[in-house]
Amino acid sequence: MDLNTKHGWASDFLIDAVGAICEMLGASQIYGKNATLGELSDAKLAVATSANLRLLDEGPIETTAYLESLKIAYKRRMDVSMTG
């Protein structure tokens, strides 16, 4: 998707909100669910933000599906830690 020519779902949000969402979700998407924003270099944070902007711009269904995948992974991890 060319974000310079198409206005997707992300264009409806305030820029600060989009930036925060993309930083947080992008870090987990690119560097793993245990990544923290404080440990990422500016370059890595830019990569994470850019990657997640594409996902966010696809719309609420795709974004919600990604969030759901994080929730499922967390629940599985908790189940394993409780049983073993």
Over the stretch 9-39, which tens digit does the pLDDT of each residue have? Answer: 777 788 888 888 888 888 888 898 788 888 9
Ranges of each domain in the chain: 9-83
Is the confidence at residue 4, as pLDDT, over 80? no
Is the confidence at residue 42, as pLDDT, over 90? yes
CB 12 within 8 A of CB 60: no
Is the confidence at residue 62, as pLDDT, over 80? yes
Q: What region, left, alpha or beta, does residue 32 occupy, with left being phi > 0 and alpha being psi -120 to 50 degrees?
A: left
pLDDT at 84: 62
